[in-house]
Amino acid sequence: VLKRAIDLARSVRDRAPAGAQAAAVGIAAAGWIDSASGRVVAATDLLPGWVGLELQAAFERELGLPGAAVNDVQAMGVAEGRLGGGRGCRVCLTVAVGTGIGGGITIDGRLLGGAHGFAGAIGHIPWRQGGPKCSCGQQGCIEAEASGPAVARAFDACLRRGPDPGASGSAPSTLEDVVRAFGAQDRQIRECASRVTRTAGRRLGRVLGALVNTLDPDVVVLGGGAAIALGERFLAAIGAGTRESALPVMDPVVVSSRLGAAAGVVGAGLLALDWVGETVDRPIMR
Segment 152-177 shows an average pLDDT of 87
Rounded mean pLDDT of the chain? 91
Q: How confident is the model at residue 281 (pLDDT cuts 50, 70, 90)?
A: very low
Q: In whole angstroms, give the CA distance from residue 198 to residue 55.
A: 38
The third-level CATH classification (topology) of the domain covering 2-74+262-278 is Nucleotidyltransferase; domain 5 (3.30.420)
Which residue spans of the chain are classified as CATH 3.30.420.40? Answer: 2-74+262-278, 87-257
Task: Report the pLDDT value the prediction gives residue 143, as an integer from 0 to 100.
Answer: 97
Query: Rounded to 5 degrees, what are φ and ψ at 31?
Result: 110, 180
Judged by average pLDDT, the poorest of 3-7, 75-79, 282-286 is 282-286
Mapped onto helix, strand or coil, the DSSP state of residue 121 is: coil
Mean pLDDT, residues 71-98 taken together: 96
Alpha carbon distance, N-terminus to C-terminus of the chain:
30
CA distances (Å), origin 187, targets 87, 148, 175, 202 = 42, 22, 18, 22
**pTM: predicted TM-score of the whole model, two decimal places:** 0.89
- Taking only the tens place, the pLDDT of each residue in 93-137 is 999 999 999 999 999 999 999 988 899 999 999 999 889 999 888
Rounded-to-integer distance, Cα 127 and Cα 104, Å? 19
What was the pLDDT predicted at 117?
86
CA dist 122 and 71 (Å) reads: 13
Q: Which of 69-78, 101-110, 160-169, 277-286 has the lowest mean pLDDT?
A: 277-286
CA distances from 251 to 142, 166, 200, 238, 255 (A): 23, 44, 22, 14, 13
Q: Which residue, among 117, 120, 121, has the nearest Cα to 36 in the 3D structure?
A: 117
- Which range (46-60, 68-82, 177-191, 241-255) has the least confidence? 46-60
The CATH number of 87-257, from 3.20.20.70, 3.40.50.261, 3.30.420.40, 1.10.220.150, is 3.30.420.40
Which range, of 35-39, 86-90, 191-195, averages the lowest pLDDT?
Answer: 35-39
- Sorting pLDDT into bands at 50, 70 and 90, what band is 168? low
